[in-house]
């Protein structure tokens, strides 16, 4: 790209922003370097991660999703950002012993990096490249030349003046001024082994992992999607040819092409020649292919003057070619900036606004992770918007016109919730984006009507939250894997968050639940915790994010227990699924909850068989409410009988030692109005949590058949299937 000049093409100052310092766990000093791969992913050497964790240099064991401190020294901030190990390619010794293969690690940031991902190109012999020490100071740069490269290992030599590659440079990127891109990672300084090769033979020689080897290793490790998002100049060269015909149709006038190209360069952070020349179509197409927001930014300035049908068709062709560009985005730089500015203003007062609108607009889609939390703080908005940009279009539109993108639909729902001037401003933004994309006004108007209807009904029923707790063999005692869904009033489920990839403590699960629960102005939100039969005695309602500490001894700022803020109930479909009549039993007994008397089960009932006989009697066949008393071991048995026989509402005191403790639950009035029972249990919990002398800890199973669970929770029980056969 001769007409466009990359920032730092002359002195590499700009590309140094993408350099990452990987910090040692012990003292927060640099273990080595790294480089930004995508907006959220960092690339370094596996042995740098080992050093950071205090492990043996070439340890091959995957450290798992550990969190490591990183810093972008070029951004001017020394505040560490934590990243977890997402992909691991262990170092593998080769026969000669001078070098090794593999040795790569990809780290994932919690939030997008504060800089733009760099460009990549293949390493070839003869390239002059620059490296930096892991600390990232610009004065530590080293100039070396690629002497040999077989595609898997590159040997680099330095001159006998200036700095040399040494300890602390590993994992850092190698910048090629000629390519205007990074071409690999520093792996190690080559040292003399025992034998005929002496130290003076390898003065200032190091070896590196070429970009082509990085690609091959990461693809084998399952990180192919990240490579698709990385700006690889080799891939980009195949893209521009698809863009040449529409560019030639739209910018045949050199003066207009120069004007539009200058405006594009400014938005992309590029320099442009100032000699009166115009960029070629190939140079312009390369920028569109390599910069994620370049294509929408160019069409944004082209649309106002595209008055002919041919011009509009050419713009539509550019939009259709957008997915060919690396990491292509829906919005232009200006559109993206203006949307974030408006959302930041409104989410300061209502952090639930964006996630609530996304759930309403995309009720049948699984929302991406950054949008699943019930509350999205201003600092999380960019990640949320970027994730929504990647979702497909939805809804029917007039023939031959583009569909309304998911992000535009969400923006319409946000605008409907705001109403007034704020809503009008966001609708104006939506109109401009729709015009650029060629969306038919009727299609946008239909989405706008849907949004208005949603806004009118959004406070009628806020739905509920379902939490699934599971364990796997080998999980630590007291730790559970957790998945959270938000259930809309129409029964559709949206996965809100997941911790099912690792066992979590009660405090961690409480944090996940609080992030996912949507507020309800009318009453405390309902949280349904789905457990297997061996977890029915879990004190889920007592879990809280953190206990008071020395800085807050009275717990003024600490969140309350889940059972104090939410109507926490238990569900256990596992037992009912083992009954051939389980579904019918549940429906019949749920109806009986409002008419039949509450059955109190204590020592007078006897054993398991006696309870089954009682529930099978004619006058008890519709019994839907049971209160359990007695010692723990017996309560567990009788509770499972109730659930197996379809009893939907069961209340017991998990702290009770015997029948005499049954009076502790009298205050709840288990036989009172059915609909308010979970709220009465919550009120009771608030009182007993605050009084150390009150030991009662009520648990409530609440199996409302009109509130179905997410589909994946109703999978057939393997044991039941075996028994049926």
What DSSP assignment string belongs to 658-692? Answer: SGGGGGGGGGG-TTS-STTHHHHHHHHHHHHHT-T
Burial of 561 (0-12, 13-18, 19+ CB in 10 A): buried
- Predicted confidence (pLDDT) at residue 237 exceeds the cutoff of 80: no
In eight-state DSSP terms, residue 504 is B
The reported pLDDT for the residue numbered 725 is 30
Structure tokens at 477: 């005692």
- Predicted confidence (pLDDT) at residue 580 exceeds the cutoff of 70: yes
Of 42-46, 258-262, 492-496, 637-641, give the lowest mean pLDDT range. 492-496
- Other beta carbons within 10 angstroms of residue 385's beta carbon come to 23
Element (H, E) at 43: strand 41-44
Which residue bears the tokens 């927060």?
28
Q: 517-532, pLDDT tens digit by residue?
A: 866 655 789 999 999 9
The reported pLDDT for the residue numbered 109 is 92
Structure tokens at 148: 């040999």
Q: Which residue has the higher pLDDT, 398 or 151?
A: 151
Nearest residue to 299 (alpha-carbon basis) of 401, 437, 490: 437
Burial of 161 (0-12, 13-18, 19+ CB in 10 A): exposed
User: Dihedral (C-alpha) 428, 430, 434, 435: value to the nearest 10 degrees?
Assistant: 20
Burial of 401 (0-12, 13-18, 19+ CB in 10 A): middle
* Interstrand relation of 205-210 and 154-158 (parallel, antiparallel or unpaired): antiparallel
C-alpha separations of 417 from 94, 104, 248, 389, 458 in Å = 62, 47, 43, 20, 9
Q: 308-317, pLDDT tens digit by residue?
A: 999 998 888 8
Q: 324-364, pLDDT tens digit by residue?
A: 555 578 999 999 999 999 999 888 878 878 988 888 888 76
Average pLDDT over residues 593-620: 85
The reported pLDDT for the residue numbered 45 is 96
- Other beta carbons within 10 angstroms of residue 722's beta carbon come to 8
Q: Of the spans 84-98, 404-418, 656-670, which averages the highest pLDDT?
A: 404-418
- Predicted confidence (pLDDT) at residue 236 exceeds the cutoff of 50: no
At 715, is the pLDDT very low, low, confident or very high (cuts 50, 70, 90)?
very low
Average pLDDT over residues 291-320: 89
Asked if 624 and 590 count as a contact pair (C-beta separation under 8 A), the reply is yes
The reported pLDDT for the residue numbered 233 is 52
At 107, is the pLDDT very low, low, confident or very high (cuts 50, 70, 90)?
very high
- Other beta carbons within 10 angstroms of residue 659's beta carbon come to 13
The reported pLDDT for the residue numbered 396 is 60
At 161, is the pLDDT very low, low, confident or very high (cuts 50, 70, 90)?
low
Burial of 191 (0-12, 13-18, 19+ CB in 10 A): exposed
Q: 429-465, pLDDT tens digit by residue?
A: 999 999 999 999 999 998 999 899 888 765 444 568 9
C-alpha 165/C-alpha 197 separation (Å) is: 19
Strand order in the sheet with 599-601: 493-498, 481-487, 464-470, 526-530, 567-571, 698-702, 649-653, 625-628, 599-601
* Interstrand relation of 493-498 and 481-487 (parallel, antiparallel or unpaired): antiparallel
Average pLDDT over residues 624-636: 91
Q: Of the spans 32-36, 328-332, 367-371, 614-618, which averages the highest pLDDT?
A: 32-36
Asked if 483 and 499 count as a contact pair (C-beta separation under 8 A), the reply is yes
User: Dihedral (C-alpha) 660, 666, 667, 669: value to the nearest 10 degrees?
Assistant: 160
In eight-state DSSP terms, residue 560 is P
Element (H, E) at 355: helix 353-361
- Give the rounded percent of residues in the chain with a pLDDT score beyond 70: 84
Return the CA Rg of the chain: 31
C-alpha 714/C-alpha 57 separation (Å) is: 47
- Predicted confidence (pLDDT) at residue 625 exceeds the cutoff of 90: yes
Q: 148-157, pLDDT tens digit by residue?
A: 998 889 999 8
Element (H, E) at 49: helix 46-52
- Other beta carbons within 10 angstroms of residue 94's beta carbon come to 12
Q: Of the spans 318-327, 425-434, 715-724, which averages the highest pLDDT?
A: 425-434
In eight-state DSSP terms, residue 192 is -
The reported pLDDT for the residue numbered 488 is 75
At 491, is the pLDDT very low, low, confident or very high (cuts 50, 70, 90)?
low
Q: How many helices (H) and strands (E) does the chain have?
A: 24, 27
Measured in degrees and rounded to the nearest 5, phi and psi for residue 36 equal -70, 130
C-alpha separations of 454 from 362, 416, 451, 458 in Å = 12, 8, 5, 6
The reported pLDDT for the residue numbered 8 is 46
Average pLDDT over residues 64-75: 88
Q: Tell me how far apart the 2 most distant CA atoms of the chain are, in Å.
A: 99
Average pLDDT over residues 150-177: 85
Q: 190-208, pLDDT tens digit by residue?
A: 765 555 555 555 457 888 9
Asked if 625 and 681 count as a contact pair (C-beta separation under 8 A), the reply is no
Average pLDDT over residues 55-67: 91
Helices 353-361 & 441-457 angle (0-180, nearest 10): 120
The reported pLDDT for the residue numbered 547 is 63
- Predicted confidence (pLDDT) at residue 716 exceeds the cutoff of 80: no
Q: Exposed e or buried b for every residue in 673-696, given b needs 16+ CB within 10 A? A: ebeebbebbbebbeebbeeeeeeb
At 174, is the pLDDT very low, low, confident or very high (cuts 50, 70, 90)?
very high
Nearest residue to 660 (alpha-carbon basis) of 630, 635, 625: 630
Asked if 500 and 470 count as a contact pair (C-beta separation under 8 A), the reply is yes
Average pLDDT over residues 263-274: 84
At 235, is the pLDDT very low, low, confident or very high (cuts 50, 70, 90)?
very low
Which residue bears the tokens 């006989």?
613
- Other beta carbons within 10 angstroms of residue 297's beta carbon come to 26
* Interstrand relation of 625-628 and 599-601 (parallel, antiparallel or unpaired): parallel
Q: How far is CA 541 from the centre of its chain?
A: 27
Q: 380-393, pLDDT tens digit by residue?
A: 899 999 999 888 76
- Predicted confidence (pLDDT) at residue 642 exceeds the cutoff of 90: yes
Cβ within 8 Å of residue 329, ≥6 positions away = 292, 293, 296, 336, 386, 389
At 394, is the pLDDT very low, low, confident or very high (cuts 50, 70, 90)?
low
Q: Which residue has the higher pLDDT, 126 or 230?
A: 126
C-alpha separations of 304 from 45, 295, 299 in Å = 48, 15, 9
Average pLDDT over residues 23-50: 93
Mean of the per-residue pLDDT values for the chain?
84
The reported pLDDT for the residue numbered 410 is 94
Half-sphere exposure of residue 567: CA atoms within 13 angstroms, side-chain side = 20
Cβ within 8 Å of residue 477, ≥6 positions away = none
């Amino acid at each position: 790209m001769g007409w466009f000049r990359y920032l730092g093409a002359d002195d590499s100052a700009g590309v140094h922003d993408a350099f990452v310092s990987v910090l040692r766990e012990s003292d927060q000093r640099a273990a080595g370097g790294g480089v930004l791969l995508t907006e959220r992913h960092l690339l370094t050497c596996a042995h740098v991660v080992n050093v950071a964790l205090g492990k043996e240099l070439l340890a091959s064991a995957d450290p798992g999703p550990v969190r490591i401190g990183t810093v972008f020294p070029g951004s001017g901030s020394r505040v560490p950002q934590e990243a977890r190990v997402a992909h691991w390619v262990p170092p593998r010794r080769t026969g000669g012993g001078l070098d090794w293969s593999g040795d790569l690690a990809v780290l994932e940031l919690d939030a997008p990096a504060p800089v733009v991902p760099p460009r990549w190109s293949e390493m070839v012999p003869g390239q002059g490249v620059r490296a930096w020490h892991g600390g990232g100071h610009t004065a530590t740069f080293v100039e070396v030349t690629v002497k040999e490269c077989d595609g898997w290992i590159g040997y680099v030599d330095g001159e006998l003046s200036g700095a040399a590659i040494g300890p602390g440079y590993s994992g850092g990127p190698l910048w090629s001024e000629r390519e205007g891109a990074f071409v690999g990672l520093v792996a190690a300084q080559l040292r003399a082994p025992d034998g005929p090769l002496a130290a003076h033979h390898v003065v200032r020689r190091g070896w590196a992992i070429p970009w082509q080897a990085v690609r091959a290793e990461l693809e084998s490790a399952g990180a192919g999607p990240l490579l698709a998002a990385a700006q690889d100049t080799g891939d980009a060269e195949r893209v521009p040819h698809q863009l040449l015909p529409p560019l030639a149709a739209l910018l045949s006038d050199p003066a207009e092409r120069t004007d539009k190209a200058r405006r594009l360069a400014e938005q992309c952070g590029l320099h442009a020649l100032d000699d009166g020349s115009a960029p070629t179509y190939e140079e312009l197409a390369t920028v569109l292919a390599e910069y994620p927001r370049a294509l929408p930014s160019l069409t944004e300035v082209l649309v106002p003057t595209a008055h002919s049908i041919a011009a509009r068709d050419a713009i539509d062709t550019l939009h259709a070619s957008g997915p060919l560009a690396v990491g292509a985005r829906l919005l232009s730089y200006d559109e993206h900036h203006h949307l974030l500015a408006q959302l930041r203003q409104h989410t300061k007062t209502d952090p639930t606004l964006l996630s609530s609108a996304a759930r309403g607009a995309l009720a049948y889609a699984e929302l991406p992770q950054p949008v699943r939390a019930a509350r999205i703080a201003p600092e999380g908005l960019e990640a949320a918007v970027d994730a929504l940009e990647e979702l497909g279009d939805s809804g029917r539109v007039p023939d031959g016109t583009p569909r309304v993108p998911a992000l535009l639909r969400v923006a319409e729902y946000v605008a409907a919730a705001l109403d007034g001037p704020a809503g009008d401003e966001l609708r104006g933004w939506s109109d401009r984006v729709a015009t650029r994309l060629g969306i038919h006004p009727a299609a946008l108007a239909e989405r706008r009507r849907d949004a208005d209807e949603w806004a009118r009904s959004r406070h009628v029923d806020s739905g509920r939250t379902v939490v699934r707790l599971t364990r796997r063999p080998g999980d630590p005692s007291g730790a559970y894997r957790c998945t959270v869904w938000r259930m809309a009033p129409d029964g559709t489920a949206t996965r809100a968050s997941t911790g099912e990839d690792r066992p979590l403590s009660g405090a961690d699960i409480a944090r996940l639940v609080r992030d996912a629960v949507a507020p309800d102005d009318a009453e405390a939100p309902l949280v349904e915790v789905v457990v297997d039969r061996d977890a029915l005695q879990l004190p889920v309602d007592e879990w809280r994010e953190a206990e008071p500490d020395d800085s807050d001894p009275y717990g003024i700022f600490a969140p309350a227990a889940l059972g104090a803020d939410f109507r926490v109930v238990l569900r256990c479909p596992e037992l009912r699924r083992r009954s051939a009549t389980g579904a019918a039993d549940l429906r019949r007994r749920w109806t009986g909850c409002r008419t039949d008397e509450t059955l109190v089960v204590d020592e007078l009932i006897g054993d398991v068989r006696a309870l089954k006989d009682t529930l099978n009697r004619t006058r008890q066949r519709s019994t839907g409410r049971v209160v359990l008393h007695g010692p723990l071991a017996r309560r567990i048995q009788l509770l499972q009988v109730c659930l197996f026989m379809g009893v939907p509402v069961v209340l017991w005191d998990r702290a009770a030692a015997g029948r005499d403790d049954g009076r502790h639950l009298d205050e709840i009035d288990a036989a009172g109005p059915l609909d308010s029972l979970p709220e009465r249990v919550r009120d009771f919990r608030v009182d007993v949590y605050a009084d150390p002398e009150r030991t009662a800890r009520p648990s409530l199973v609440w199996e409302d058949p009109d509130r179905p669970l997410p589909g994946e929770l109703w999978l057939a029980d393997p044991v039941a299937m075996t028994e049926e056969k």
